[in-house]
Amino acid sequence: MDTFKPGTFQYHLNKCFEIAAEKYNCEDPFDKCKYREIIAAEKLGHDLFEGASGGKYNDETYGADATDPKDNDGKVEYKSAKMTKTQYDKYKKRVLKKKYAMVYNGAYDKESIARYANIRHMINLFYKAELVATVEVPTDYVLETLNKNLDYDNTRRANGEIVTTNCNSVGVQFVDNTPTIGEIID
């Protein structure tokens, strides 16, 4: 492998790949923002699944990214959202009013949604590499919202519309830095 000149952007970026591979068996920490999962697991004290989590036929990791040793190794699903500089500044001033989406691409039928039932759901807000806040969103709310969205999409399909099976989203609204559902845990 080529060596990169110390101090260059490429050198430091390569170090990120090396650390992710050595510590987390993750070949590409920038694929699907895996680096955010790594940061969240480190900060929250969770055990991140090695390599890729998810997987339609993998019951051990399906619908989750990590386990929480403080919660009897219960599974945890991370969703993340990127904050703009303006949103970050408002958060620091405690006046953030913004709705963030938790996108579930595996929530395309009732059976798949039901598989999320025994998983804790968290949305991590990031400004650049900083994990600004983590909100634990109640599982019942996640399931209810995903099922409601699926029912709506199925009605549209029945009316002849072409509707994607991906991007079933659960919204988390912030008003003055406080989520209207769930609670900040970090």
pLDDT tens profile 121-174: 999 999 999 999 999 999 999 999 999 999 999 999 999 999 887 889 999 999
Sheet with 178-179: strands ordered across: 98-104, 168-175, 178-179
pLDDT for 60: 72
Q: What is the pTM of this model?
A: 0.88
For every residue of 1-54, DSSP letters joined together read -----TTSHHHHHHHHHHHHHHHH--S-TTGGGHHHHHHHHHHHT-EEPSS---
Question: How many Å separate Cα 36 from the centre of its chain?
Answer: 8
Q: Which residues of the chain have pLDDT under 70?
A: 1-2, 51-59, 186
Give Cβ neighbours of residue 126 (< 8 Å, ≥ 6 apart).
Answer: 36, 39, 80, 81, 82, 83, 132
pLDDT for 54: 55
